[in-house]
Chains A and B, each alone.
Chain A
Amino acid sequence: MNTVLAKFLESNKKAILQQWLDCALALFPEKMGYSTPVAMVLSGALEKILSGLGKSENDCQEALDDVTRILAVQNFPPSKALSIFLEPKLILRDIMMKTTVAGTLTQEVQEAFNSRFDRLTLEAFDSYMRHREKIYQLKVEEGSRRMYMALRRTEA
């Protein structure tokens, strides 16, 4: 299954990636431009995630972190932010509908793809939450940095 999926992803990578990136950028108020640092980081990370998918040992934690690190501080709710991990499934269906019979994947492979993305969504949720917690941790740390000398005195 992995080889079939890998092959399929390889040949459709560009199209999937483009659509996926568009979805991600469109989360932002007035669709984030391609030539922005945010778009650059997202496109790099999404590509890493996608190319890691077909491989058996897939460790895309770092890329996942890069994506959620950006999403976790944006002005939209988590449900919207994480929705981008649901998009690939729709994109895949979309592509399947447009390709010829020969190019389609078996149901088994499709389901493998989908379940892989389900798992990825949950992993992304973990990662997103880690970054949210980091924000609160930063607030606490900043408070104590600011009061550094006072805290030192009370400790002494």
Chain B
Amino acid sequence: MSKYVPKLSDLKKEFDEKPSVLKGNYSVQEWWDIPVEFRDGNWCFPGKPEVLEDLGFANPRKWAATDENWQLPAGWQKTISDGLQSRLKKYRSLKLFLDSCVRCGACADKCHFFLGTGDPKNMPVVRAELLRSVYRHDFPLVEKILKGFSGSRKLTEAVIKEWHMYFHQCTECRRCSVFCPFGIDTAEITMMVRELLNLIGVNNNWILAPVSNCNRTGNHLGIEPHTFVQNINSLVEDIEDLTGVAVEPTFNRKGAEVLFITPSGDVFGDPGVYTMMGYLLLFHHIGLDYTISTYASEGGNFGMFTSNDMMKKLNAKMYHEAKRLGVKWILGGECGHMWRVVHQYMNTMNGPADFLEVPVSPITGTRFSNAAATKMVHIAEFTADLIHHKKLKLDPKRNDHLRTTFHDSCNVARGMGMFEEPRHILRNVCNTFHEMPEDTIREKTFCCGSGSGLNAEENMENRMRGGFPRANAVKQVKDRHKVNSLVTICAIDRASLPPLMNYWNPGVSVYGLHELVGNALIMQGEKKRTEDLRENPMAGFEDGGDDEE
């Protein structure tokens, strides 16, 4: 052997001494012994003091998760403990989900954050145990006597830090709850813990700032009424430039038949605005009598990621405005968590909506009996019905430059159960549609990794990790079927999937479903269309030239 190669004995010694990963000695630790480390890219900035003051939330101060001292308010343990007690009284779900887990592990590898990070505390079962261990310590009977036996621990500041980290690495997507034999829903636990954390001022600015904006101006982005109108009017101009058709949306108009509400991202952000153009074209195409409100100008509801009371407060505007305007029913745009709120919470929280009528499509006459009480219809249900009754003039060839796949948004999938309507629309507005692998779509869909208010820029690395399983599934259809367009019906997806695709699968663009509808619609009196709503050339419609971007 040469002098460059170390002696066998040296190597052996090094191998024995080095805490090598090959030896598999990483499983001696219990999960509660693994320290929590806040690093750049794995936490969101905390709520700004002025935002907290505006909302009347506890403990406004300047702090950061990386601080040693989090400046928790005096008596915070009692606040948490009392808060948990009162929530256990109010929610059977919480009590049941804390009591009934058998740690069978069926959920363990279902979480996109666990799959993307390998961090054991991202297994849904452990995420819930973070709370359960404290709950067992404080509450039930024998477990108190047999502490080591049932894995209980005291509520300390370290536990709060752990909660902050891991309950902000859960997107409330409910995928684990599909696989749990008892239907334990980690989203429910995350919602409760976030409520508790807000009681002591441990929070996330990316969630609280939109909440405060929404409360003040009517929408998350804080757009004031005149700007809101201005934005939509410039989209109207774009539409006229592209199609030669002048669409005429109205605002805050009393006596309209339908109130249309969509997430404000569709009015402000790219690529949401193209979806908005799609809606406007559709409504013009069928001559819908609708209006848009600048007061209830937000479909989304970041209150849901804060507390149930805040969810209710922000949601209340929808019915309030529908009543004031005297519309017959409400039509809702493409959004994920907005539809969880509308479908499962709105009528319970802010109903009954007696002042509205059971929604009936004025074009097809279809009565939406599934929305008979809440009186709000999803745009995909509405459009699917129009297509089914052949009320739309569509040219799917206009989307031939797009080879699509469809991303089921978590909340629409597992909190509402809408799978077929968007697919029916997609198949009718484009010619190339390929599904991602079976276990990554429909009720088993993978989250974008940025839901539930985690799509802060400073959280980018975390989001890329959490979104990896989704991106990986897209990559498969990209490789196999040359898919270049990821179609979705969620505003958070439209904001967060572009960077995710750009990082993992460059070349795949993100589209809202109704953007494709807008492309395909043959409008009355339109001029020759050569470009899609993004002003990209359509394949086969150009005046000669390359159809590639």
Q: Are A and B direct contacts in the complex by CB distance below 8 Å?
A: yes
Binding site for B on A (CB under 8 A): 19, 22-23, 25-33, 35-38, 40-41, 69-70, 73-75, 93-94, 96-97, 107, 110-111, 131, 134-135, 138-139, 141-143, 145-150, 152-153
A110–B5 Cα gap in the complex (Å)? 10
A69 and B503 within 8 A (CB): yes
Q: Is B322 an interface residue, CB under 8 A from the partner?
A: no
> Inside 8 A of A141's CB, which chain B residues have their CB?
498-499, 502
Q: Is B252 an interface residue, CB under 8 A from the partner?
A: no
In the complex, the 9 A-B pairs of residues with the closest C-beta atoms, listed nearest first: A26-B21, A28-B118, A148-B270, A32-B118, A138-B499, A30-B120, A73-B464, A73-B461, A139-B457
A37–B460 Cα gap in the complex (Å)? 19
**0 or 1 for each of B40-81: is its CB under 8 Å from A? (1 = yes):** 011000000000000000000000000000000000000000
Given contacts A69-B503, A97-B11, A149-B234, contact A38 B118 (CB under 8 A): yes
Partner of A30, one of B26, B230, B271, B469: B26
Given contacts A97-B8, A139-B460, contact A29 B116 (CB under 8 A): no
Given contacts A22-B21, A74-B465, A93-B11, contact A31 B460 (CB under 8 A): no
A143 and B27 within 8 A (CB): no
> Inside 8 A of A147's CB, which chain B residues have their CB?
268-269
Q: Is B85 an interface residue, CB under 8 A from the partner?
A: no
User: A105: shortest Cβ distance to chain B, in Å?
Assistant: 11
B273 and A135 within 8 A (CB): no
A75 and B39 within 8 A (CB): yes
> Inside 8 A of B39's CB, which chain A residues have their CB?
75
> Inside 8 A of A94's CB, which chain B residues have their CB?
11
A75–B29 Cα gap in the complex (Å)? 19
For chain B residues 197-233, which have a beta carbon within 8 Å of chain A?
A: 230-231
A41 and B472 within 8 A (CB): yes
User: B448: shortest Cβ distance to chain A, in Å?
Assistant: 13
A146 and B269 within 8 A (CB): yes
B118 and A36 within 8 A (CB): yes
B461 and A148 within 8 A (CB): no
A sample of 10 more A-B contacts (CB under 8 A), given A26-B22, A74-B117, A147-B269, is A23-B22, A29-B117, A29-B120, A37-B115, A73-B503, A75-B39, A135-B461, A135-B503, A141-B498, A148-B270
Query: Whose C-beta in chain B lies nearest to the C-beta of A30?
Result: B120
A70–B41 Cα gap in the complex (Å)? 14
Partner of A38, one of B5, B34, B116, B271: B116
Partner of A150, one of B27, B37, B268, B460: B268
Given contacts A135-B503, A148-B268, A152-B234, contact A23 B21 (CB under 8 A): yes
A146 and B268 within 8 A (CB): yes
Partner of B457, one of A30, A97, A134, A143: A143
A149–B271 Cα gap in the complex (Å)? 11
User: A98: shortest Cβ distance to chain B, in Å?
Assistant: 10
Query: Whose C-beta in chain A lies nearest to the C-beta of B123?
Result: A30
Query: Whose C-beta in chain A lies nearest to the C-beta of B498?
Result: A145
Given contacts A30-B120, A107-B4, A138-B499, contact A73 B465 (CB under 8 A): yes
A69–B499 Cα gap in the complex (Å)? 14
> Inside 8 A of A25's CB, which chain B residues have their CB?
118
Given contacts A93-B5, A135-B461, A139-B460, contact A145 B234 (CB under 8 A): no
User: B521: shortest Cβ distance to chain A, in Å?
Assistant: 23
B115 and A149 within 8 A (CB): no
Query: Whose C-beta in chain A lies nearest to the C-beta of B272?
Result: A148
> Inside 8 A of A146's CB, which chain B residues have their CB?
265, 268-269, 495
Given contacts A29-B117, A30-B119, A37-B469, contact A149 B268 (CB under 8 A): yes
> Inside 8 A of A75's CB, which chain B residues have their CB?
37, 39, 41-42, 117, 119, 461, 465
Query: Whose C-beta in chain B lies nearest to the C-beta of A107?
Result: B2
B8 and A145 within 8 A (CB): no
Q: Is B381 an interface residue, CB under 8 A from the partner?
A: no
Partner of B115, one of A19, A38, A138, A139: A38
Q: Is B468 an interface residue, CB under 8 A from the partner?
A: yes
User: A88: shortest Cβ distance to chain B, in Å?
Assistant: 13
A134–B500 Cα gap in the complex (Å)? 11
For chain B residues 440-473, which have a beta carbon within 8 Å of chain A?
A: 457, 460-461, 464-465, 468-469, 472
Given contacts A19-B22, A31-B21, A73-B465, contact A145 B472 (CB under 8 A): no
User: A24: shortest Cβ distance to chain B, in Å?
Assistant: 10
> Inside 8 A of B531's CB, which chain A residues have their CB?
none
> Inside 8 A of B188's CB, which chain A residues have their CB?
none
A134 and B503 within 8 A (CB): yes
A97–B27 Cα gap in the complex (Å)? 29
A86–B131 Cα gap in the complex (Å)? 40
> Inside 8 A of A32's CB, which chain B residues have their CB?
118
A26 and B26 within 8 A (CB): yes
For chain B residues 1-35, which have a beta carbon within 8 Å of chain A?
A: 2, 4-6, 8, 11, 21-22, 24, 26-27, 34
Query: Whose C-beta in chain A lies nearest to the C-beta of B475?
Result: A41
User: B457: shortest Cβ distance to chain A, in Å?
Assistant: 4
Q: Is B84 an interface residue, CB under 8 A from the partner?
A: no
Given contacts A93-B5, A135-B503, contact A145 B269 (CB under 8 A): yes
Query: Whose C-beta in chain A lies nearest to the C-beta of B265?
Result: A146
User: A128: shortest Cβ distance to chain B, in Å?
Assistant: 13
> Inside 8 A of B179's CB, which chain A residues have their CB?
none
User: B258: shortest Cβ distance to chain A, in Å?
Assistant: 24
